[in-house]
Structure formats: structure tokens, C-alpha cells
A and B are shown apart, each in its own frame.
Chain A
Amino acid sequence: MNPVNRRAFLKAIAAASSASVLTIPARAHAGVKARVVVIGGGFGGATAAKYIKLMDSAIDVTLIEANQTYTACPLSNEVISGHREIESLQTGYDKIARRGVNVVHDFVTAVDPLKKTVATQGGRKLSYDALIMAPGISFDYTAVAGYSEDAVTDMPHAYKAGEQTRILKWQLQAMADGGVFIISVPPKPFRCPPGPYERAAQVAHYCLHNGKARSKVLILDANDSFSKKGLFEQGWKALYPGMIEWVPGAGDGKVERVDVASRTCFTGLNEHQGDVVNLIPPHHAGQIAVRSGLANAQGWCEVTPMTMESTRHKDIYPIGDACIAGELPVYDMPKSAHMAMTQAKVAAGAIVAKLNGLPVPQPYYVNTCYSTLAPDWGISVVHIYRVENNQFVYVKTAGGISPLDAPPLQRKLEAEYCVGWFNNVMADAFA
């Protein structure tokens, strides 16, 4: 370590500690070790568990996650197009365990918000002082007639990365030149707002460079607009002319019914037969959040802006894709890994402060989201939120999308930054 910096560093600690000696042992005197339980080990849950431990190592933190290995959704569209192996998106929980987080691979079956306990399939019963609810999403398989959970191998959603991603990739590889690849997009809000449109580009890229240039990607959308629309349309046109067609909800794009056997999607007035059908069903907060009484009528968990605490139950903090925050349908917080992580850090800060008897710290919410249309063509959107009068406020003077008239260098930089972003968020959440 640089000696000058080290001196400054120690000085900073000294300055900080002189003021805080009196406050830190408040809970220690009570002789109770505070317990935090985190449900779900995705970007949000893992980040929350790790940061609570980082901020106050005296807190007992248990992370409950069913899977031993996590497969990240960001960049998973590049697995479909063959640019990336799925293993590059995977991580275990050993590193955050080494930070002192008690990692339990189990499945939460019930939460009792009044007794403040969590029960698991494995027979565990844990009590908590604060609960982070980060279960991600659950699909509504009945929303599209003719579809079902059994149909996911025929019409994969590939909207939880892993086996589904592989199936969609294989189906694309098996598709003949001239085939039609249908992507059915559910009504907002849904996970990863630019995901389907980035996927369209990645699929077109695969087709163009693998002897399937006559193929077509047909996006059947329940919505009339989408994230980074202008940038995507510009990129599609420049990179994959004539290969991608977007049908908005207003143009009869909403898929109401499917026939799985013939791979047909029925909209209000039309039917579209695909060679591959990537049907992304509507979704809502993970089942456990809904069953715990945290979700609103639309199936999402509303939160208190200063802390991310649930508006329904005290001491439960729904974060990540399961929560809904900000003004729908344009200024709501996007369901992205980056957003989940900044929400996790706000919740972690609020919980640590509360358990130490300290005032609520000022929250900061940021989202950065990259989409890669081709290896040297990246675009992004940035969101900054402030909390004013206990409301989420999207800062309109900042944020926004990459410029439409950007030079090629910017597109290249953003494609490279996307990978750097991914490596860093993976480390920040899981290492």
C-alpha cells in the first residue's frame, strides 16, 4: 500500500471512530445478536447479504437459495447466439460464505411476517429481525391460453438463465435458413426491459453469420413501446436489414393464445407460425413474496422509498425484480441486475442503521443497463432516482439512453463496457 494513502486512510478511521465509539456498542450491550435472513441468491439477494456483513460483521446473516450455482441473466442472450458459454455466467456462493454469510441451500416454503419467522422445505425454521425478500420472478403460465409449464421445452421462455437458455440456443441452431424465430413479449412490467429486443439482435446476428441469412425474427409485443426503442430500431436496420420485425400491441402484436404442437401464436386478428417460438409469459414477484402477502393486485411488492421496506409488512425488504418502485409505465425502476444491486445496498444500509439504533441513511438509486446488438455495437440506458417527500423521483436531467447519432467508437466502447460492467457486478454481488 502506498504509504501516503495508508496514513490518510488511518487518519480517516481515527476521525470516524472518535465520533462513533459511543454509538456502536448500543446493541452489544443488549447482548442480542441481530439476525437478518435473505431469501434468494440472485444479484439483489447476494448483494444485500454481502453488504450487511461488510457494514456490520456482528449481524448474523443467512442467505437462503435453492440452487448451488447461480446463472446470471445479463449477457445470456449471447449464449443463445453462441458468443459466450453459459459457464461464463455462472458462480457459486463460496466467496460470500467466506465473508461470513451463512449460505443455506434450501427452499423457503413460508414466511410469517407477524412472528418474523421463515420456514423451509428442509425443515428449517429461522427467525429474523429483518428479512430481505429477493425471490425474483414467477411466471404466470396460464395467462396465454394453450401455454403451460409443460410447454416450456417446446416454446422456451429463456427468461431465467440456465437450462432454458440452452434449449432456446439448440432450437435456433436447428432452425433452417428462412425460418421464423418468434419472440413473444408480455405486458409491462417485466424483467429486463430491453431483453427481448437485444435477443432479437443476437438471434439475427447468429443467423446472419451461420448461413441462415434469409431467416426472420418476429417480435410479437403486447406493448406499444419499449426500452431504447429508437436505438434498437437504428441498430437492427444497420446491422440486420430486413431481418427483424416488431409488431406492437397496437398493431395486433399481443399473443393471446398458442398452439404448442404447431408452434403457432394467435393474436387478436392474426396467427403466426414460427419455427422457433420464444414465449416469454407474463410474470410477477416470486411466489414466496406473493404468498407472504407482500404483493399488490398486479403481483409486485411495493416499497418505502427511503429504505426499501415493504409497505405491507414491517421489517421485510422486497428488492430486485420482485418489487415495484417509481412511476409506471415509463419511470418505474427497471427490473435489472444493476437496479437490484443498488436497491440491495439501500436496504442493507437501512437495516444496519436500524439494528444499530441509528437514523435512516440517505438512499441512492442508480441503474445502468447495457444491451449488445453485435460484438462492437453496444447501447445503454442510465437511470438515477432521488427520494423526495418519500417518493421515488426519476431525475430527468440525468440518465437516459445513448445518443442516437453516436459515432461508431461509442457503440464499440459500450459493447466493451458491457463486459466490464458484467465482470464487476458479478464480483460486487457474489465475491
Chain B
Amino acid sequence: MNILRRNVLKGAGAAGAVSVAMAAGLLTPGAVFAAEWNKAVFDSKDLGGVMSAVGGAGAAAGDISVKAPDIAENGAVVPVEITSNIAGTESIIIIGEKNTLPMIAQFDLSNGAQGFVSTRIKMGTTANVRAVVKAGGKMYTAAKEVKVTIGGCGG
């Protein structure tokens, strides 16, 4: 079950995204974007609201690792790798706690996809990168602080 789907009716633009995609002929039976894009959550500037929308942070878990640099020299490109060793991991959500728009991405995993995603995210300032994991219907979380150096000497 898709976590964000619960909020789909609140997200006015979400249905729009799907219809645009359909109109573009993209949605074939094999590649349905089941998770309609949840505008309400992605456009929210309220970290607390985002956290509750994704199902709450849940318990802190040592079985989740958030790999990211201690110091990012370029806040526009911060490599993040999340591994969840919790059995039955269904979703991984990435949140930038101090980003203007905290919700960064949600990955729903199925058919053998492991609890692992690696991507690169934007961070405006020094903050936690938080991973929220849904596994077996329960929520878990872990975070790592990334220092973002702004300005810099360029040297």
C-alpha cells in the first residue's frame, strides 16, 4: 500500500499529473505510475506536517543506514545512500529536515527490490537527512547530519 495514496484526495494537482501522463500515452499496463504525485506533501513547507503525512517517523532503527558525506562541498549535489535491513521493507522516504520543501522523494519497492536506494539530493543548509522506512506496516526512521558549506573560498 502506498503511503502517500492516503492523501491523494487532498492533493489537487496529483490527479492532474496522472492525467497528463496518461494523455502523453506514457502509462502502459506494465509501467503504471501507481503512486500519483502527491502535490500536497511535496509542496508543503511544514516539516511536522510532512512527517505526519508520510505516516510519522516511527521508531529509530539501527537497521537503517543513511550514508551521506559529513560535509558537503556542494549543497546542490549531496550523495545519499539509504539501506534498510529491516525485513519486508516496502518504502523508503527521504526528507531534508531544513529544506524549504522537506519532502524529497519516496521509493516504493516491490518484486524483489531490496531496501536500498542511492541518489543525490539538494540541501540548502546544514541539516539532518532523514530516512523514513515502512516495513511490515510499521514505520522506522534514521537520520544523518550533513554540514553544508556555503560560499566557500573556491579553493
Question: Do A and B have CB atoms closer than 8 angstroms in the complex?
Answer: yes
- Nearest Cβ on chain B to A192's Cβ, whole angstroms: 11
Q: Does A229 contact B (CB under 8 A)?
A: yes
Q: Does B79 contact A (CB under 8 A)?
A: yes
Q: Does B29 contact A (CB under 8 A)?
A: no
Q: Does B71 contact A (CB under 8 A)?
A: yes
Q: Does B25 contact A (CB under 8 A)?
A: no
- Interface size class for chain A? 20 to 34
Q: Which of A205-223 contact B (CB under 8 A)?
A: none
| B152 contact set on A, CB distance < 8 A | 330-331
| Residue of B71, B77, B79, B120 touching A330 (CB-CB under 8 A) | B71
Q: Name B153's closest neighbour in chain A (CB-CB).
A: A400
- Nearest Cβ on chain A to B145's Cβ, whole angstroms: 15
Measured between alpha carbons, how far is A369 from B152 in the docked complex, in Å?
16
| A227 contact set on B, CB distance < 8 A | 154-155
| Residue of A228, A329, A396 touching B73 (CB-CB under 8 A) | A329
Q: Binary interface profile of A, 274-301, with partner B (CB < 8 Å = 1, else 0)?
A: 0000000000000000000000000000
Q: Does B149 contact A (CB under 8 A)?
A: yes
Measured between alpha carbons, how far is A231 from B155 in the docked complex, in Å?
11
Q: Does A334 contact B (CB under 8 A)?
A: yes
Q: Name B154's closest neighbour in chain A (CB-CB).
A: A401
| A68 contact set on B, CB distance < 8 A | none
Q: Does A328 contact B (CB under 8 A)?
A: yes
Q: Does A250 contact B (CB under 8 A)?
A: yes
Q: Does A383 contact B (CB under 8 A)?
A: yes
A/B pair count, beta carbons within 8 Å = 50
Q: Name A230's closest neighbour in chain B (CB-CB).
A: B154
Contact A224 B153 (CB under 8 A): no
Q: Name B71's closest neighbour in chain A (CB-CB).
A: A329
Q: Does B74 contact A (CB under 8 A)?
A: yes
- Nearest Cβ on chain A to B119's Cβ, whole angstroms: 10
Q: Name A231's closest neighbour in chain B (CB-CB).
A: B154
Measured between alpha carbons, how far is A248 from B151 in the docked complex, in Å?
19
| Residue of A250, A327, A328, A369 touching B155 (CB-CB under 8 A) | A369
Q: Binary interface profile of A, 221-257, with partner B (CB < 8 Å = 1, else 0)?
A: 0001101111100000000000000001010000000
Q: Name B152's closest neighbour in chain A (CB-CB).
A: A330
Contact A400 B73 (CB under 8 A): no
Contact A401 B71 (CB under 8 A): no
Contact B79 A400 (CB under 8 A): no
Measured between alpha carbons, how far is A367 from B79 in the docked complex, in Å?
30
| B74 contact set on A, CB distance < 8 A | 224-225
Measured between alpha carbons, how far is A399 from B155 in the docked complex, in Å?
10
Measured between alpha carbons, how far is A139 from B95 in the docked complex, in Å?
39
Q: Does A128 contact B (CB under 8 A)?
A: no
Contact A228 B154 (CB under 8 A): yes
Q: Which of B93-131 contact A (CB under 8 A)?
A: 120
Q: Does A361 contact B (CB under 8 A)?
A: no
- Nearest Cβ on chain A to B104's Cβ, whole angstroms: 15
Extra contacts besides A330-B71, A400-B153, A401-B154 (12): CB < 8 Å? A193-B155, A227-B154, A227-B155, A230-B154, A328-B71, A329-B71, A331-B149, A367-B155, A369-B155, A381-B155, A401-B153, A401-B155
A-B contact pairs, 26 of them (CB 8 A): A224-B74, A225-B73, A225-B74, A228-B155, A231-B154, A329-B69, A329-B71, A330-B149, A330-B152, A331-B149, A331-B152, A331-B153, A367-B155, A369-B155, A381-B153, A381-B154, A381-B155, A382-B155, A383-B153, A396-B151, A399-B153, A399-B155, A400-B154, A400-B155, A401-B154, A401-B155
